[in-house]
A and B are shown apart, each in its own frame.
Chain A
Amino acid sequence: MSISIKHISKSYKNVKALQGITFEVKEGELFGLIGPDGAGKTTLFRILTTLLIANEGTATVANFDVVSEYKNIRNCVGYMPGKFSLYQDLTVEENLKFFATIFGTTIEKNYDLIKDIYIQIESFKDRRAGQLSGGMKQKLALCCALIHKPKVLFLDEPTTGVDPVSRKEFWDMLKHLQQKGMTILVSTPYMDEAALCDRIALIQNGKILEINTPEAIVKNFPKPIYNVSADNMYQLIKSLNAYKYNHSVYPFGEFVHYTDSRIDFNPEDLFQYLESQNLSKIKIEKTKATIEDTFMELAK
C-alpha cells in the first residue's frame, strides 16, 4: 500500500476535525478526497505529510510511519498545499531551483517529469512568482512539488477557484503523472472531478461517508431519481419542497433532481400535483444519480 490510514482522529479545541478515519491508497492509484470546506481534508493532508500529529491512530506513507519515520516521508513525497506557498519574491526559475536544491537534485535531472507542465510557464521564468496569474502559480507549484520525483503526490484542492478549462487541463496533467507510476492523493470540492479518480472517499465533518469507485458510488444510490422541469424554476422548487411525499429536492442545472418517499411512487401523481400548482411545460423523466446526489443523500 502506498498510503495506509488507520483510525486517525484529530481535534482542535472544540472542533473534531477528523474522527476515526481509515482507508488505504494503492500504489499508482489516483485517489480523490471529496468534500466541502471544513470537511477535514487539509488536516488529513497535513498529518500524512508529517506537518501535524494526530491525536489517535496511525498512518504510513510509502511504508514509512508518519511519526517515527517522518524524515523518510519528507524525502519521498510531493505536497502542494491549498494555499499558494512558494516564495513570491523569487522568480519562477529560482523557486524551482530552490526546491530542487533542498531535495539534493537538479532541474535537469528530473526535467522529464515536469517538462509538459514547465513548458507552459517557461517563457515567464524570470518573472517573480507573486506576479503570476492564478493558473500559472498553480502550474509552478505543481512543478516544485514534482522536482524531486516523489513516490506519492499530495494535492490539496489544486483546482479550487479555477475555471472549468484550466481544471480540465490540470486533470489531464494528473492522468499523465499517474501513467508514470506516481500515487496521487488529491482533494477537491468539485464533485464532477470525482469521476476522474480511480477511487474516491466522500468526506464531511471529519467522517468518511463512503469509499468506492465513482461508478459503484453512483450505482449504489438507494432510490429512483427523476429529472423534473417546468416553465418556472423558482415556483417548481417551491412546489416540490411543499409536496408532502418528497424525499429530496435538489436543483441540478436546468432540472430539479427529485426522489420520492413512497416505494410505489407513480410519476403521474407528481405531474398532477404540479399541474394543480399552476406550473406548465412539466416534464418528469427518470435519470441517473451523480456523485453529488450520493453525497447529498449521505450528508442529509
Chain B
Amino acid sequence: MNNNNVIQVEKLTKMFGDFAAVNAITFEVKKGEIFGFLGANGAGKTTAMKMLIGISNPTSGKANVAGFDVFTNAEDIKKNIGYMSQKFALYDDLTVKENITFFGGIYGLSRKQIKDKSAVLIEELGLEKVANKLVGALPLGWKQKLSFSVALLHDPKIVFLDEPTGGVDPITRRQFWEMIYKAANQGTTVFVTTHYMDEAEYCDRVSIMVNGKIEALDTPKKLKEQFKVDNMNDVFLKLARSPSPTLPIGKGV
C-alpha cells in the first residue's frame, strides 16, 4: 500500500442475498485529505462506511484502513479511527465532562491525558459554563461539535463523519466545517458524508455513489467541469438518480 494513502479500497463488495449493496468500489484517500462520500439515500454509503470502520464484513474485495486490513485486523482499525454518526452522538444523561472522560477511557487514554484533553477541548469549544451540565440539555449544534471533538480525543489517523451537520443551523454548520478544516490541516484525514451540496464543495475530493457503485470521483472543480455545471448540486442531480422504486431493488434505471 502506498504510504501516503490512509484508506485504500479495491473492488470492495457487500452482498445481501442477491443484492449488491456495495458493488466493487475502488478508491483511495490520502493523508490529511477531506474526502466527501456522497450518494442518494439507499445508494450504499452507510454499508460501505460500516465495512471501512470494521463493523461489517465485506463479501469480497480488499480494503486497508489506517494501515490495517478490514478482513483480518478489524479490531485494530477501530482503535485507529474516530467515528461520529448523526444519530448516536453522546450520552444525553452524562455531563459534558463525564462524556469526555468516558470516551477517553474507552479509547485507552490515561487519567492525566483525559484531564489535559478535557481542559483543552472545553476551552476550544467555549463550553466552560456548561461543562458540568447534562449533554441532553445542549443545543444540537453544540452536541455535534462536542461529539466531533470526542471522536478526535485519541488522535486518530482518520475520522469518519456520517452526516454530521443534518438539521444544524447555518452558522453552527459553518463553525463545524472550520473544525474539520483545522483537523485536516493538522494531518487528520476526514471522511465525511453529507446531503448539503455546498459542503461537498469544501471537500478536497468527492465521490458519488449510485446504486452501489462509485460513478464519479474527483475534485469538486473537475467534477463541475466534467458535467458542465456551476455547482455540486447540479453534478449530483445529473448523476445520482434515485433508485426507481417501481423496478426491482438493485436494478436502477
Contact = CB atoms under 8 A, between A and B. Distances in A.
Contact of B167 (A163, A189, A253, A292): A189
Given A165-B236, A165-B241, A252-B198, A134 B41 contact: yes
A217 to B, nearest CB: 14
B237 A168 contact: yes
Interface string B132-171: 0000000111000000000000000000000100111111
Given A161-B163, A165-B241, A234-B182, A123 B41 contact: no
Contacts of B231: 253
A151 B231 CA distance: 37
Interface residues of B, number: 42
Interface in B163-200: 163, 166-172, 174, 177-178, 181-182, 184-185, 195-198
A164 B181 contact: no
A196 interface: no
B220 A37 contact: no
B201 A253 contact: yes
A251 interface: yes
A162 B233 CA distance: 14
B20 interface: no
A280 B95 CA distance: 44
A292 B242 CA distance: 26
A163 B166 contact: no
A171 interface: no
Contacts of A36: 140-141, 167-170, 172
A160 B167 CA distance: 7
B53 interface: no
B240 A163 contact: yes
Contacts of A181: none
A292 B181 CA distance: 21
Interface string A152-182: 0000010011111111110000000000000
Query: Which 7 pairs between the two chains have the least Cβ-Cβ distance?
Result: A36-B169, A253-B201, A234-B181, A37-B167, A163-B40, A253-B198, A37-B140
7 contacts: A37-B168, A38-B139, A164-B195, A165-B236, A165-B241, A237-B181, A254-B201
